[in-house]
């Protein structure tokens, strides 16, 4: 799984798990995050959600290497991934519990979009926040 869900008592931990790619967002992650956000909506015993990233970064944004390797499918693929991301963020925002995010390393692009669903973001001193959409000729999610 590219996104892990661990529920321990009343706490749900949603952890991005592509450390080799600094948790860059790709199609598999879009699918996993949507499924997890739907699971959280159906889990009434949760009292808080923690968003975190495994490895050197919270989330490095979209997986540009994946996009480049799949250029022919990209217009449709990006649209689908953005729709799934937006649905995931809406699902998180509909939870009636506090959402905390723990960031480190990098929080870029999609990662910052996900932070908008959080009630509180706690960051390491070295975390870099980057909105790189304009550098890539894109609009934000």
Extents of the domains making up the chain: 3-136
Ramachandran angles phi, psi of 50, nearest 5°: -115, 125
3 pLDDT exceeds 70?
yes
b/e burial code for range 75-103 (CB count within 10 A of at least 16 → b):
eebbeebbebbeebbebbeebebebbbbb
By C-alpha distance, which of 121, 118, 103, 124 is closest to 61?
Answer: 103
pLDDT digits (tens, 9 = 90+) for 37-56: 999 999 999 999 999 999 99
Q: Which residue has the tokens 């799949």?
A: 70
76 pLDDT exceeds 90?
no
Give the pTM: 0.89
Q: How confident is the model at residue 80 (pLDDT cuts 50, 70, 90)?
A: confident
Residue 47 pairs with which residues in a beta bridge? Answer: none
d(CA 126, CA 96): 31
30 pLDDT exceeds 60?
yes
By C-alpha distance, which of 47, 31, 24, 48 is closest to 118?
Answer: 48
Residue 128 pairs with which residues in a beta bridge? Answer: 106
Instruction: Find out whether 53 and 16 touch, Cβ atoms under 8 Å.
Output: yes
User: Is 3-136 a domain of CATH 3.90.226.10?
Assistant: yes
d(CA 81, CA 30): 6
DSSP 3-state percent helix, strand, coil across the chain (nearest 5): 40, 25, 35
């Amino acid at each position: 799984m590219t996104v892990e869900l661990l529920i321990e008592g009343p706490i749900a931990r949603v952890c991005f798990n592509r450390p080799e790619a600094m948790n860059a967002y790709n199609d598999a992650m879009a699918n996993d995050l949507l499924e997890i956000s739907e699971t959280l909506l159906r889990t009434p015993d949760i009292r808080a959600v923690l968003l975190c990233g495994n490895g050197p970064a919270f989330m490095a944004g979209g997986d540009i290497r994946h996009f480049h390797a799949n250029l022919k499918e990209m217009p449709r693929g990006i649209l689908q991934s953005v729709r799934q991301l937006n649905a995931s963020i809406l699902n998180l925002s509909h939870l009636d519990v506090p959402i905390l995010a723990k960031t480190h390393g990098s929080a870029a692009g999609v990662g910052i979009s996900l932070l908008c669903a959080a009630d509180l973001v706690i960051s390491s001193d070295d975390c870099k926040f980057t909105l790189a959409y304009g550098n890539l000729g894109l609009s934000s999610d």
